A and B are shown apart, each in its own frame.
Chain A
Amino acid sequence: MDRSNPVTKILRGLALLAIGLFFLFPLFWVALMSFQTNEQILRIPPSIVFEPTLSNYWALISGRLVSTAGVLEIKFMGNLWNSVFLSTTSVALALILGVPAAYAFARFRFRLSEDIAFTLLSFRFAPPLLVLLPLSLYFQDIGLTDTYVGLIWVYQLIALPLILWIVRGYFEDISPDIEHAYRIDGHSWWKTFTKIALPLARPGIAAAALLSFIFCWNNFIFALILASAGKQPVTVGALAFVTASGIQYGQIAAAVILSILPTLLLALYAQRYLVEGLSLGAVKG
């Protein structure tokens, strides 16, 4: 392919350019909008030369949206905090629950083990509303509607299957011989698990945790149904914010940027793990 003629080379270059434009331009453009005033945004023709302003971000951070119509209180930073809190605790809980289970499925052939593992996996593929709609009625009865506990519990539907299956694959790739030797030396099962198995599976656990954090962060439907304004993460909050703020386009753009920045940075920082997790175990890095 290297000996290809200049025409193919130019075509390949153009194709790459078009792909780069299509996938990166929206991010670039919305980022630009977030530094513009409404007047600059509404200017025709649109221009990439403008005096950047931080006022949109400032309005979001201070929680006060000043416009000609008056002052509007917004709780966008609260939504952002909810996302951080919900995603972090959900992944932490899923790790505590999921890693030992993944170890059990990888190391022991016990009765029903495959059935249980597949049942947990099948959650990932069931329509979320099928569970959420009845759950919303139950949550009203038992007082879990609009609570962090209820949401974190339901977020396990996202995080747990991922962690269980990715980490299980990792444990299966590690030869059990080292663990056997360590146990024969007289160490307890628990010590073998924490001192030998866990450190060896660390890359897999990192990949699974990263991936489930991103999926929890990006989830929309769970909180849409089970949480009201005070507990909503940014995905739902940003949509509500659009309705509330109306024509404050610069602030909407800034809200978009603030809500995607954490996952984008995380992805860039740990992209190797991410690719490994995303390729469904079809690649071993």
Chain B
Amino acid sequence: MAATTATQPTASPRKSRLGPALLPYLLSLPALLVCIGIIIPFFTAVWYSLQRYNLNLPYLRGFVWFQQYIDLFSDPSFWHTVQVSLLYTALTVILELLLGLGIALLLRRPSTLHNIMSIALLLPLMVAPAIASLMWKLMTHPDFGILSWLIQQVGITNFRWAAAPSSALFTVLLVDIWVYTPFMMILLLAGLRGLPKQPFEAAELDGVPASFVFFRITLPMLTPYIITAALFRMLDSIQQFDIIYAMTQGGPGDTLMVFQVMAYLDFFQNFNVGRSAAVLMVLWAIAYLLSNVFIKHWLRLRERARGAA
């Protein structure tokens, strides 16, 4: 395909643009082939989820149709996982959204200080979530953790952070918020700075109160960005593994047993491949629905950004 002759100029632009009809396929084929190897395990997982399959009891392996799912749906520990995952997702997304929006509003006006701040706030997002958990573990260590010490100074003794069921969720939320709030901030700041200036100038001239400007102008115009950012974080948060696994492995007990941690433990501790696959299929269904909504909003947002540029 590299050999194009000099007689080509007479061809129509359309034809020369298309080149050989196979070209686009040839260009995307390598990427596709690499991914096919990864699609196969997906179908295998579907297949596993319809089987009684325990690595410890291979002779009991057999096809059981939807029995895994029926067992799962009648298992209180599964519903506990659903509950914890949804609570975790709701709390992280709402808190990160509010905090991210607050920070974006504070840093909205470009100035040296604000620009330095927004770059500095990128740093937590660059830390691997698993490593971030390690950092917070060091800071909340009962013997020498700076946070444990600080909290004692204000009179709270025996606060056990991730080690106690009552405070484990709070501690893990702190880590999640520390890592991911900057993502919300970046997207919302980009949105805020990209908004047209006229409505705000007009409002200022007319002496419209700030709260009115915020709720009637800023917020509605920012909504597409808020929805896109929130959906993106929801997709990640419902599948959270790294932070929870590194902090507590889903514990103490089953306090933080979210979808992927449950599936991981089912597989590697109970060797129950069938049940693990069924848990993941439920998670996949949720993620698939969310991702479809997200992609729609994201593409629309991208079109808008293009149109404005």
Chain A residues close to B by CB (< 8 Å): 1, 12, 15-16, 19-20, 22-24, 26-27, 29-30, 33, 41-46, 96-98, 100-101, 103-105, 107-108, 110, 113, 116, 118-123, 125-135, 137-138, 153-154, 156-157, 160, 164, 169, 173, 176, 179-180, 183-191, 214, 217-221, 224, 234-236, 238-239, 242, 249, 252-253, 256, 259-260, 263-264, 266-268, 271, 274-275, 278-284
Contacts and interface: CB of A to CB of B under 8 A. Distances in A.
Q: Among A45, A129, A264, A268, find the residue whose CB has the most chain B CB atoms closer than 10 A.
A: A129
B28 A189 contact: no
Q: Interface on chain A toward B: helix, strand, loop, or mixed SS?
A: helix
A215 to B, nearest CB: 10
Q: Which 8 A-B pairs rank lowest in CB-CB distance, beginning with the nearest?
A: A218-B128, A104-B27, A125-B291, A283-B190, A134-B41, A108-B24, A134-B44, A101-B28
B194 interface: yes
B232 interface: yes
Contacts of A176: 17
Contacts of A219: 128
B136 interface: yes
B235 interface: yes
A239 B249 CA distance: 12
17 contacts: A12-B106, A24-B120, A26-B124, A26-B135, A30-B139, A119-B35, A121-B295, A122-B288, A127-B284, A130-B284, A131-B45, A134-B41, A256-B135, A275-B190, A278-B183, A283-B191, A283-B193
A224 B183 CA distance: 25
Interface in B118-171: 119-132, 134-139, 141, 143-144, 146, 149
B163 to A, nearest CB: 15
A133 B273 contact: yes
Interface stretch (B60-68, B72-80, B87-95, B298-306): B298-306
Contact of A135 (B16, B41, B121, B302): B41
Interface of B: 1-4, 6, 8-9, 13, 16-19, 23-25, 27-28, 30-32, 34-35, 37-38, 40-42, 44-45, 48, 102-103, 106, 109, 113, 117, 119-132, 134-139, 141, 143-144, 146, 149, 178, 181-183, 186-187, 190-191, 193-194, 210, 225, 228, 232, 235, 239, 241-242, 245-246, 259-260, 263-264, 267, 273, 276-277, 280-281, 283-284, 287-288, 290-291, 294-295, 298, 301-302, 305-306, 309
A22 B4 contact: no
Nearest to B19: A189
A249 to B, nearest CB: 7
Nearest to A19: B103
A164 B169 CA distance: 36
A33 B146 CA distance: 10
Q: Among A1, A12, A24, A133, find the residue whose CB has the most chain B CB atoms closer than 10 A.
A: A133
Contacts of B3: 188
Contact of B13 (A23, A154, A180): A180
Given A234-B131, A256-B138, A20 B28 contact: no
A10 B109 CA distance: 16
Q: Interface on chain B toward A: helix, strand, loop, or mixed SS?
A: helix
Contacts of B1: 188-190
Contact of B18 (A108, A125, A220): A108
Contacts of A132: 41
B182 A127 contact: no
A5 to B, nearest CB: 12
A129 B260 contact: yes
B126 A267 contact: yes
A27 B138 CA distance: 11
A104 B283 contact: no
B288 A242 contact: no
Contacts of A120: 31-32, 35
A29 B141 CA distance: 13
A123 B287 CA distance: 11
A30 B137 CA distance: 11
B31 to A, nearest CB: 4
A221 B129 CA distance: 11
A126 B287 contact: yes
A51 to B, nearest CB: 17
B284 A122 contact: no
Nearest to A263: B126
A44 B27 contact: no
A128 to B, nearest CB: 7
B24 A23 contact: no
Contacts of A221: 241-242, 260
A130 B49 CA distance: 11
Contacts of A16: 106, 113, 117
A27 to B, nearest CB: 6
B38 A154 contact: yes
B35 to A, nearest CB: 6
A199 to B, nearest CB: 18
A128 B128 CA distance: 16
Contacts of B276: 129, 133
A190 B305 CA distance: 31
